[in-house]
Amino acid sequence: MKPEHNPSLKTTGFFHQIFRSIFPDPLIPKSDQERKRYLLKNLILHFRPPTVPEKTLKFSLTWGLGGMAAVLIFLQFGTGLLLKFVYVPTPLGAYKSILVLNNEVVFGQLIRNIHHWSANLLVLMVFLHMLRVFFTGAFHPPRQFTWIIGLGLFGLVLTANFTGYLLPYDQLAYWAVTVSTGMLEYVPAVGSRLQEIIRGGNEIGPATLNIFFAIHTAIVPVGLTILTAFHFWRIRKSNGLVIPRAPEEKIEEKPIRVPTLPNLLLREIVVALVLIAIVMVMSVSLDVPLGDSANPGLSPNPTKAPWYFSGPQELLLHLHPLFAVFIIPLVLAVVLMGIPYLKYDTHTEGIWFASLKGRRMALIAGLISLIATPIGILLDEYLINFLAGFNNFPAFLGNGLIPFILIFSGCIGFYILIKHRYSATNNEAVQTLFVLILVAFLILMITGIWFRGPGMKLTWPLKL
């Protein structure tokens, strides 16, 4: 069939055609048939639906967090590619190449700063995005699998950060990775073998650097590309985002829809530009430090894991390693994966904190954890550890099994209490328990980052 003539479809040249296939002509053809043909030809609309529910455009639904994570991944790919031109993945070459990058390559330090700050922001954004998805009930059917792919993405983002941490091969990198991979030893049966595989031997050395470099520059980028595409596809398949609503409001059967172009696209561009501006300001004003060259014979005191692993590292100071670095993280990972598949009794998608009661209960759980966790840390540091010195109670029981059973049954007891005493729905009860654990985890992390000094003793941060 001969295409109908329409002046707005006319293109003037190669670059104009490319430009128009990304950013469509504002004078989109009027008739339905022309419009459909036009939209089909457009690149953006191959990735985005032609229309979106108007209410999902509200910034306070998503806070732009998933989109910001995607932009940061692009920044990582771009700057990572540039860094690859200078970086040499050998123990001697790595440190030297970072020195060259910092001091001799034009904009070298800036590119490294962008890569570093956006990597750290990425962990933060993905974490906050996961919390927003959870607290708006966006993991319920049909979005269960989007949640699972999201968890896979979170794992990849952590792997990217962790493998990148070693690459400058300075003291901080060397010892942080020594400590973190050292934790693997406590995984039963396969731990030592796993540690050997990851380190490429018994100690951190050239083989480790090679393995980390390969994972960082090949496996993780490929994984991120595939899973991000899969994530976005699942979001489209689930009819877009959850529609925000007030606690008592019903789910709309036929929400009002508006064209993606320009409504969604413009908002996404604004969020991306603001984020890039923030990353640039950080990167211009804060240089990423480079310590002394790695020295396997001299460990810094304290030797800390990267900040996103300081929660488990802090737990390790209180509990037997088997529980701190294996059983508890495993239980948490299984619980996170199981969240969308638990049995719920109400539809809460789109409602922040499930209901008004859910909000109150989450607040109370947060406050309980905020008070109880530091008390627990202090008691363990100054009293329980002290008492343990007086008897020969096996560490596996005293520091491991018994506290684990106490924590686990405390969580179950708390769940039963709020379900029966306060007649909470399953959604409210699961969320309350989630907040309790979340706040405890955050406090452990903060303690590990700021309140641990030489010898990993508790200290006041200003003294550090």
Contact region with ligand HEM (CB under 6 A), list: 106-114, 139-147, 213-221, 404-412: 139-147
Please, which of residues 241-270 interact with ligand HEM by CB under 6 A?
241-242
Smallest gap from Cβ 112 to ligand HEM, in A, equals 22
By CB atoms closer than 10 A (0-12, 13-18, 19+), residue 57 is middle
* CB contact set of 306 (below 8 Å; sequence gap of 6+): 161, 162, 165, 176, 180
Contact region with ligand HEM (CB under 6 A), list: 81-89, 124-132, 280-288, 452-460: 124-132
Q: Which of 304, 230, 289, 341 is nearest to 99 (CA)?
A: 289
- 121 lines the binding site for ligand HEM (CB under 6 A): no
Q: Which of 55, 112, 116, 231 binds ligand HEM (CB under 6 A)?
A: 231
Q: Which of 110, 151, 282, 438 binds ligand HEM (CB under 6 A)?
A: 151
> How far apart are the C-alpha atoms of 462 and 464, rounded to whole Å?
6
- 353 lines the binding site for ligand HEM (CB under 6 A): no
- 129 lines the binding site for ligand HEM (CB under 6 A): yes
- 126 lines the binding site for ligand HEM (CB under 6 A): yes
- 322 lines the binding site for ligand HEM (CB under 6 A): no
Q: One-letter amino acid identity for 168?
A: P
Question: In this structure, what is the dihedral angle of CA atoms 432, 435, 440, 443, given to the nearest 10 degrees?
Answer: -150
- 147 lines the binding site for ligand HEM (CB under 6 A): yes
- 137 lines the binding site for ligand HEM (CB under 6 A): no
Return the number of the residue (174 or 352) whose C-beta is nearest ligand HEM: 352
- 143 lines the binding site for ligand HEM (CB under 6 A): yes
Q: Which of 76, 146, 171, 399 binds ligand HEM (CB under 6 A)?
A: 146
Q: One-letter amino acid identity for 282?
A: M
Smallest gap from Cβ 28 to ligand HEM, in A, equals 24
- 294 lines the binding site for ligand HEM (CB under 6 A): no
Binding string to ligand HEM for residues 165 to 204, with x set by CB under 6 A, is what?
----------------------------------------
Smallest gap from Cβ 50 to ligand HEM, in A, equals 17
Smallest gap from Cβ 157 to ligand HEM, in A, equals 5
The angle that helices 171-182 and 144-166 make with each other, rounded to 10 degrees, is 130
Q: Which of 48, 52, 55, 69 binds ligand HEM (CB under 6 A)?
A: 69
How many residues are recorded in the chain? 464
Contact region with ligand HEM (CB under 6 A), list: 106-114, 147-155, 172-180, 418-426: 147-155
CA 346 to chain centre: 28
Please, which of residues 49-68 interact with ligand HEM by CB under 6 A?
62, 65-67
Q: Which of 83, 98, 119, 153 binds ligand HEM (CB under 6 A)?
A: 153
**Residues of this chain that bind ligand HEM (CB under 6 A):** 62, 65-67, 69-70, 73, 126, 129-130, 133, 138-139, 143, 146-147, 150-151, 153-154, 157, 228, 231, 235, 241-242
